[in-house]
Structure 1
Amino acid sequence: MILKRVLLVVAVLGLIFVAVPRPAHAAPVEDEGADCPISQGTVTANAKLPDPFTRIDGSRITSRSDWRCRRAEIKDQAERYVYGEKPAKPSSVTGTVSRTNITVNVSENGRSASFSAGVDLPSGTGPFPAVVVLGGFGADTAAIKAAGAAVISYDPLAVGREGTPRNNKQGAFYTLYGASSSTGILLAWAWGVSRIIDVLEQSGGSVLRADATGVTGCSRYGKGAFVTGAFDQRIALTMPIESGTGGAPIFRGVNGESGAQPLSSAYGEQPWLGDAFGSYTGNPAALPIDTHEVIGMIAPRGLFIMDNPHIDWLAARSSSVAALGGAEIYRALGASDAISYWSDVSDGTHCATRSEWRAPLQQSIQRFLRGTGSAPAVFRISSQAAGNLAEWRTWQTPTLTAGTASPPPATPPVSPSVSPPVSPPAPGGCAATVSTNQWNGGFVATVRVTAGTAAVSGWTVSVTLPSGAAVTSTWNASAAGSSGTVGFTNVAWNGALSAGGATEFGFQSTGSGSGLAPVCAAR
């Protein structure tokens, strides 16, 4: 009889386990690439976005499993040049989890610190997935709870205080690692969230699930949420809101974006970024990394970037470039549906709760924290702040195999082709090729126009869209029509092409982007 009862309990527990699926792509450890060998290589200035698929030694990854150690290289560069070092889990992390509170106690090398966070549970019995909300404003906590996730209210200033000089940083992180630590407070905040997850893992999961954690925050706390999700692979869903310079926007773009907060201002306003970043505020081209690769550190986990195009200071145009570049990494990893970006909002109030974001936010929580439904997989880029990835990259996205990791070759490889293969155009003519990023309900297309053996003074590319597709925005070209066969004509500065010369334009569309066959006519 006792044995039967034991077997019955085991069976019931097994059913409970099956009923609570692990969130898609969340990792069981903070850093899956901790064992990867890292070499430094030579840093060369590059005004364009670095190729995320090229290793430090110059070789290109060929399989999805290569990404684990390529991500480790990017992480090392992000620490070394941008954020400072994120230390590993301290020697002692303890704490408690209740229905209203989480306590965290950490010790390392004879130093100890503590902090806490509030818990607000949704209706139901649990255990619940949870979203860590940095700073307490700008996040739609009602929508989070309505989607079935708890809210963990985290005060990042207890871990990394603002208003302190760089040589006298304060908070729980700096109590352990020194007030003169070169690590910026964004990464200190991220370290604090990781310690909360450590305590959740120790708690047994009776209240909150440690394997179903998200993170969000707005403005400077949006910067913190972005960095937090990048540096802890246990976080299943990252949702930065209006993060501005130092958050999602590409470093190479903000200084040239009208009205955007300059890098020097973001670096000097607070010690958000690591001390080493001060050398690059006036020359971001010298950085071996940019934020599209930080987005790649999150891939293939859930990511929903929310932006505000109405406030120039927030650099939404540069943020859209980062999202489009990061989406190429998601696409290569077979996870295009795991990234969403939305800046097409009507209300310009900073950190307002927006009705446009509620549905995709709740869909993201359902998919990535509860393991049900479908991800929103949507790109809604405002025409007020639409960046053009084609202006920022010279690399193309590879087709990565699903095989085992490939070692770097013994000798440097031939540099990859800048553009997809193009059939030679007729003399005096032109040819066009297209690549697309498809999302649920829409896609972004990048079209490359190449002149033939003679120069052209202008061009028009005709693209026949599938039924139901409609162009919503265009960059670097003028569009005639929005559905059916759409003609895209050069703008003033990119019509004249020398023999063999090339340019790119792009458009965003609803519907499907499959089967596009652009036809180019020269003038």
Structure 2
Amino acid sequence: RHPMPKNQAARKLGGVLLGASLLLLILATPSFGKDGRLSPEELPPIQGLPDPFLMESGKRVQSVEDWNQRREEIKDLLLDYEYGHMPPAPGDMRAEETESMDLFGGKATLKRILLSFGENQEIQMNVGIYLPKEQSEPRPVIFLNDMVWYEHLRPLAERILDEGFIFAGFDRHDLDRDDKDRSDGVHPLYPDYDWGTLAVWAWGCMRVVDYLVTLDEVDSSKIALTGHSRAGKVALLAGGMDDRIAMVVPNGSGAGGAGSFKIEEKGVETLELITQPERFQYWFQKDLRDFVGHEDRLPFDQHFLKALVAPRLLLSTDALGDQWANPLGTQQTHRAAQPVFDFLGVPDHNAIHFREGGHDMLKPDWDALLDFAGHHFLRKPLGEDYKEVPFPDVPLELNWKRP
């Protein structure tokens, strides 16, 4: 377990409450859950989606300075209850080029890099990056948190380069093989951390960003991170936690990503289903499952994570036929995050795109990503309206308003 900062247990009481009176009540009769967290039974039920502007002190955000403080509180909430804690950057980064090949008729080079970190270089990750041969100035990066060097992705890589970007990715399984085993990957190096697999992979994304920002070819202010399904959950988590990621594009990410734990229609992957021990409980902080049957007592929903991206760029891409990934929940947390983007003066930075079809990352998803990134990073005209939602007549239950 990641050790809590001094007095954090006391600080955490306020942010999960509905108002100052409840705060005073609980402070008068403290009842702590595991490691300073309140258990579901100790938390008040919340009608509708929780208020991201309600601070731990019981007051509401009134200024950008207040919001910056509230952002740190939200990070703590999400790491404490949902994802588990990540260690700091390990430092001592080294990058060794292991392979280089010319592609696309000599227009580009694919480089394979072995990244290593730590005093003894014990943390190792395989990275791939497509770079144009002729480049007059630093370029934005499209960073897919997956293995990008396989041949089936070459046409996509060529398109991304032709549109003015660099394309990069890594093998997240170098850090965690996506199973319950905690004896592999980085886990033996950090035995006291309670992070689930999603947090491990998100931390890996941040380590790739550590590398990308050192490259002369890269415009370090224009890094877009994306991923599909579980990798979409990872993209949103890393993007919420790391301000160096200028644009975040979770695709088909569902529960624990752009979806919702509180808005769960028939046929969606619920909190109960995704955290089953025989399924994916290991993706999360293990005690998240304690909220099964108590979802109304979660002190957050996924709009909190989306709000962490503000004022940077967020584009959620999803499919109408992907019911498992909770299209309605994705729409509603998108709408619930919008007041934060509005408050920070960037209403157009919270975007959403739905296509027909099922669970995949297809050409229309990439079209939307490259259109949105091209507009904001390369000043190209915007081809679509990324505010249109698929269920506009479904009411959104919010018992709060933006300051």
TM-score range, shorter chain: 0.7 to 0.9
Question: By how many angstroms is 1:286 displaced?
Answer: 1.7
Q: Show the 5 A alignment for 1:33-72.
A: 39-42=11-14, 43=16, 44-72=44-72
Cα–Cα, structure 1 residues 375 and 59, in superposed 2: closer, same or farther, change >3 Å?
A: farther
After superposition, the C-alpha distances for 1:123-180 in whole angstroms (9 at most, x for unaligned) are 6415332122123589965553333111112111111221224xx2532x324213x7
Q: Distance in 2 between matches of 1:288 and 1:262?
A: 17
Whole-Å separation in 1 of the counterparts to 2:165 and 2:84: 32
TM-aligned CA distance change 1:321 to 1:297, over 3 Å:
same
Task: Write the distance in 1 (CA, Å) between the matches of 2:254 and 2:74.
Answer: 21
* Alignment counterpart, residue 243 of structure 1, candidates 249, 253, 258: 253
Mapped to 1, the partners of 2:395 and 2:311 lie a distance apart of 20
The answer for the alignment partner of 1:133 in structure 2 is 144
- Aligned partner of residue 194 in structure 1, secondary structure: helix
Structure 1 residues 94, 377: CA separation in 2 closer, same or farther (over 3 Å shift)?
farther
Q: Which of 196, 200, 224 is the aligned partner of 1:184? A: 196
Contact 2:374/2:380 (8 A) holds in 1: yes
Structure 1 residue 312 and structure 2 residue 323: aligned? yes
Q: What does the per-residue CA deviation read over 1:334-389, in whole Å, with 9 as the maximum and x for residues that have no partner?
A: 0011121012x23x13214133x455322322244446656966223224xx5845
State TM-score, norm by structure 2. 0.79
Matches within 5 A, 1:85-164: 85-96=85-96, 100-107=111-118, 112-122=122-132, 124-125=134-135, 126-136=137-147, 141=157, 143-164=159-180
Shift, 1:253, TM fit? 1.3
Q: For the residues of structure 1 that align with 2:385 and 2:206, how far apart are their CA atoms?
A: 26
1:322: how far off? Answer: 0.6
Amino acid at match of 1:170: D
* Equivalent-residue separation in structure 1 for 2:86 and 2:302 (angstroms): 17
More helix by share: 2
2:345 corresponds to: 334
CA distance, structure 2, for counterparts of residue 194 and residue 249 of structure 1: 23
Give the Cα–Cα distance (whole angstroms) in 2 for the partners of residues 323 and 124 of structure 1: 39
- Deviation, 1:104, is 1.7
Work out whether residues 320 and 387 of structure 1, in 8 Å CA contact, stay in contact via their aligned partners in 2.
no
Query: Does the aligned pair in 1 maintain the 2:233–2:258 contact within 8 Å?
Result: yes
SS at match of 1:295: helix
Give distance in 2, aligned partners of 1:389 and 1:295. 20
- Contact between 2:251 and 2:361, CA under 8 Å: does it hold in 1? no
Q: Within the alignment, does 1:193 sit opposite 2:199 as a pair?
A: no
Task: Say whether the 8 Å CA contact 1:143–1:358 is kept in structure 2.
Answer: no
Distance (Å, rounded) in 1 between the aligned partners of 2:145 and 2:275: 20
Equivalent position amino acid for 1:189 in 2 = W
Residue type of the partner of 1:147? Answer: E
Structure with higher strand content: 1
Find the partner of 2:400 among 395, 401, 405: 395
The yes-or-no answer on 1:351 pairing with 2:363 is: no
Mapped to 1, the partners of 2:141 and 2:292 lie a distance apart of 36
Structure 1 letter corresponding to 2:127: A
Following the alignment from structure 2 to structure 1, what is the Cα–Cα distance between the partners of residues 11 and 202? 25
What secondary structure does 1:261 align onto? coil
> Secondary structure of 2:11's partner?
coil
- 3-state SS of 1:329 partner: helix
Offset from partner CA, 1:32-76 (integer Å, 9 cap, x none): xx9xx9921154331421111110111011112322111010001
Aligned to 1:227: 237
2:388 to 371, 380, 383: 380
Give the drift of 1:265.
2.0
Distance 1:206 1:91 in 2: 20
RMSD, aligned α-carbons? 2.8
AA paired with 1:156?
R
Q: Which position in structure 2 is the counterpart of 1:21?
A: none
In structure 2, runs of 5+ residues without a counterpart are 17-43, 101-108
The residue type paired with residue 253 of structure 1 is I
Q: In the aligned structure 2, how far is the partner of 1:96 from the partner of 1:361?
A: 30
Normalization by structure 1: what TM-score?
Answer: 0.61
Alignment-mate amino acid for residue 199 of structure 2: L
Paired amino acid for 2:327 = A
1:182–1:276 Cα contact (<8 Å) kept: no
CA gap 1:319/1:188 in 2 versus in 1, 3 angstroms: same
Match of 1:264 among 272, 279, 284: 272
Evaluate the alpha carbon distance shift between residue 85 and residue 363 of structure 1 in structure 2; reply closer, same or farther with a 3 A threshold: same
Partner of 1:464: none
Aligned to 2:73: 73
- Of the two, which has the highest radius of gyration? 1
Contact 1:304/1:361 (CA < 8 Å) preserved in 2? yes
Q: For this pair of structures, how many residues does the alignment match?
A: 349
- Give the Cα separation in 2 of the matches to 1:124 and 1:281: 54
CA distance in 2, matches of 1:141, 1:389: 40
